[in-house]
Chain A
Amino acid sequence: GAVVSQHPSWVICKSGTSVKIECRSLDFQATTMFWYRQFPKQSLMLMATSNEGSKATYEQGVEKDKFLINHASLTLSTLTVTSAHPEDSSFYICSASTPNEQFFGPGTRLTVL
């Protein structure tokens, strides 16, 4: 199947700093990418839908000014957690879609101290 990578795989940062997470589709072009967040022992929660060259669409309750999404090319989307706080500590997962399938990245574990 198609491969989606995320970088970094884990990150620890201080409260108040910003963290950027990259999501790349390695062997296909994805017009749409999705960002999810997963807290321990919970399911994945969709945060936003990202289309190449346009503004992301955020799910209800997700702050667009806090979670900045950039989808500059058909193979790269980035999520920046701005002014991170301990409650933002979570497992962030991206996915990239073709017309028929959606492929997930391995996830990025963010710990905010």
Chain B
Amino acid sequence: DAKTTQPPSMDCAEGRAANLPCNHSTISGNEYVYWYRQIHSQGPQYIIHGLKNNETNEMASLIITEDRKSSTLILPHATLRDTAVYYCIVNSAQKLVFGQGTRLTINP
């Protein structure tokens, strides 16, 4: 499975959009990009996933570059409850391999 690179930490003001980048330059054609988040001492929560096209759901938007080597998760109006570690994962099978993720802190 392709490896991902994420910044270790980010801060965002409450109410603003949080943009979390992820590099996956070795992604192969059949691999999806998944985003999960983990709030302290809880199990990971699914956010969104995509293959080529940009995706949007009630939680977030996922922007994937045309060459698929990077993507951005967008939380449009961040709240304090969005403070968590966000994991970007690429894979083609069911097995998910977690990297270190980005610790996102939403500040009041």
- Tell me the A residues contacting B by CB distance below 8 Å: 1, 4, 6, 32, 34, 36, 43-46, 49, 91, 93, 95, 97, 101-107, 109
**Smallest CB-CB separation from A94: which chain B residue?**
B43
Partner of B43, one of A43, A93, A97, A101: A93
Contact present for A43 and B46 (CB under 8 Å): no
Contacts across chains A and B counted by CB atoms under 8 Å? 48
A51 to B38, CA, bound (A): 25
Interface flags for B65-108 (1: CB within 8 Å of A; 0: not) read 00000000000000000000001000000111111110000000
Chain B: interface residue total (CB-CB under 8 A): 18
Question: Interface SS of chain A: helix, strand, loop or mixed?
Answer: strand
Partner of B95, one of A43, A46, A107, A109: A46
- Known contacts A34-B96, A97-B94; can you find 12 more A-B pairs with CB under 8 A? A4-B43, A6-B43, A44-B38, A44-B44, A46-B97, A46-B98, A49-B94, A95-B44, A95-B96, A101-B46, A103-B46, A109-B41
Contact present for A104 and B87 (CB under 8 Å): no
Residues of chain A within 8 A of B95, CB atoms compared: 34, 46, 49
**B45 sits at the interface (CB 8 A):** yes
Residues of chain B within 8 A of A105, CB atoms compared: 43
